[in-house]
Every structure is written in C-alpha cells, then in structure tokens.
C-alpha cells in the first residue's frame, strides 16, 4: 500500500513538474522578438507643493509615427482623459495639444461619448516621485514620443493669478502654460533616450497654438526633472496588458 502511494505521489510530482516547466517555457516564448518602450518620469514634489493647489500635474504621453504622423496615446491622467474637472465643465488650458490631437470641442470626451478615451490608457494622477509606463512597439521601428505636462496654480510674475494692470484674471487658475517634451527613438533593446523641452502649448479664447517656450516660464520647466526612455524586452507574464502600438 505504501509503495502504491509512493508511486502515485511520484507520478503527480512528475506531472506537476512538467506543467510548471511547460508554463515557464510558454511564458518565455511569448517574449521572444518583442520590444517595449518604457517611459520614465520623476516629479519634483517640492515644486508641486509650492503651487497653489499642491496637486500633481496633469499630463499625457503619446507616440507619433514619423512616417505618417499618426499618433496614439500611451497614457493620460484620468481627470484630463475623461473631462472630470470637479465642478468645471472643461479646462481647455490643461493639455491643449493633446486635446487638439485626440479630442473634440477643445475638451476631453466623456465616458459616454462614442469615441471615448480608452480606460486602458487613463490612470489616476500619479502622486509618487517616480512614474513609468510601457508600450509595445515593433522591434527596430522608429518613433517620436511626446509628453505634455501642466501644473495648475504655478503662478509667477509673468503668469499671475490676477493681472491688475490689464484687468485680467486667470479664469482656470492655470498659471504657467502646458509644456511639451519630445524624444526621438529607435526600438532596439538596451538603448536609452532622453527628452528635450521643445515648446509650450496655449489655449487662448478657443484658439490653440504651439510656440517656443517663453522667457516667463520658470519653475514649470523643472516639475518633471527627470525624463527618459528605456528600450526593453518584456518580462514573462501570464497576463500581459501592455498595449501594442500599431499606427
């Protein structure tokens, strides 16, 4: 009897070992030839706390195909992504360029719109120092990565809350304008790329424009004080929710 039980135990141990080994090989096989771009952001909490609202910035990340200039969002903070502005119907100054590319009517689409922002690319505004997001791309492909960032309430001398001289008030408590960071990269595993601050995006009475960063922009330049891209091979996972970019 004991011999029979020992044989059964040995048999089931062998089956379990085979299943585990097969699953491990399957997961490894799923990563062969795949390439992911990991976008890394470090937020300067000191500058955030010095703003009027002391809340993390709204931001969006998207990839642009340099061949056909088609774009796809990788991540956008949920408030901007679904237009949830806590009592305000819209805040068009938040991310003017992203709104122009991906939404209609100068504001983000609501959840019940026909072309709503996919929930897979929206997330709560990150409050931690470091934030990373990944997107899968074709190995060897070339891309442009954009990040648009806006910290509300970061007023300064050039962008005051109240401009008494011109009898103007910052209607949306925006402060300094949204800033655009750009990085060109090629998806080859092991490479690292940096970003450059290239422009500011403006909404002015319904008109949107992208222009060089003005001299009046100060602290906003350093709210994201570290930005980088790493090209990696995905780790084996049973469930992989990384979105594949096909644009």
| 25 and 83 fall within a common domain | no
Structure tokens at 109: 């689409």
The sign of the torsion formed by the CA atoms of 203, 208, 213, 219 equals: positive
Residue 19 structural domain: 1-32
pLDDT of 241 above 70: no
| 85 part of a folded domain | yes
CA pair distance 4, 181, nearest whole angstrom? 68
Structure tokens at 174: 């925006």
- Residues 98-132: pLDDT tens digits? 999 987 544 455 444 444 556 568 888 898 999 99
| 118 and 191 fall within a common domain | yes
Q: What angle do CA 172, 59, 110 make, to 5 degrees?
A: 70
CA torsion, ordered 136, 138, 139, 141, to nearest 10 deg: -110
The confidence score (pLDDT) of residue 28 equals 41
| 113 and 190 fall within a common domain | yes
**Domain tally for the chain?**
2
Q: What are φ and ψ of residue 92, in 5° steps? A: -65, -15
The confidence score (pLDDT) of residue 192 equals 98
- Residues 133-177: pLDDT tens digits? 999 999 999 999 999 999 999 999 999 999 877 778 888 999 999
Average pLDDT, the chain: 83
| 123 and 8 fall within a common domain | no
- Residues 63-87: pLDDT tens digits? 999 999 999 999 999 999 888 887 7
Q: DSSP for 195-244?
A: -EEEEEEEEETTEEEEEPPPTT--GGGGSEEEEEEEEEPPPP-SS--PPB
pLDDT of 38 above 90: yes
CA pair distance 93, 84, nearest whole angstrom? 14
Beta strands 224-232 and 192-194 are antiparallel
| 1 part of a folded domain | yes
- Residues 174-214: pLDDT tens digits? 999 999 999 999 999 999 999 999 999 999 988 899 999 99
pLDDT of 245 above 60: no
């Amino acid at each position: 009897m004991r011999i029979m039980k020992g044989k059964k135990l040995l048999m089931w141990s062998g089956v379990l070992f085979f299943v585990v080994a097969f699953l491990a090989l399957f997961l490894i096989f799923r990563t062969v030839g795949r390439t992911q771009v990991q976008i890394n952001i470090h937020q300067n909490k000191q500058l955030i706390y010095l703003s009027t609202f002391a809340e993390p910035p709204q931001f969006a990340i998207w990839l642009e195909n340099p061949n056909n200039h088609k774009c796809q969002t990788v991540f956008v903070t949920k408030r901007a992504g679904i237009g949830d502005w806590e009592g305000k119907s819209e805040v068009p100054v938040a991310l003017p360029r992203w709104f122009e590319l991906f939404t209609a009517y100068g504001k983000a689409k609501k959840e019940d719109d026909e072309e709503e922002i996919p929930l897979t690319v929206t997330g709560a505004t990150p409050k931690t120092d470091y934030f990373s997001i990944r997107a899968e791309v074709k190995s060897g492909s070339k891309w442009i990565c954009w990040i648009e960032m806006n910290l509300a309430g970061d007023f300064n001398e050039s962008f005051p809350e109240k401009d008494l001289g011109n009898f103007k008030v910052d209607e949306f408590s925006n402060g300094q304008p949204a800033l655009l960071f750009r990085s060109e990269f090629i998806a080859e595993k092991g490479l690292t790329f940096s970003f450059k601050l290239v422009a500011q995006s403006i909404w002015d009475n319904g008109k949107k424009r992208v222009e060089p960063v003005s001299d009046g922009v100060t602290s906003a330049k350093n709210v994201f004080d570290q930005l980088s891209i790493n090209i990696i091979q995905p780790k084996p996972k049973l469930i992989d929710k990384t979105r594949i970019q096909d644009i």
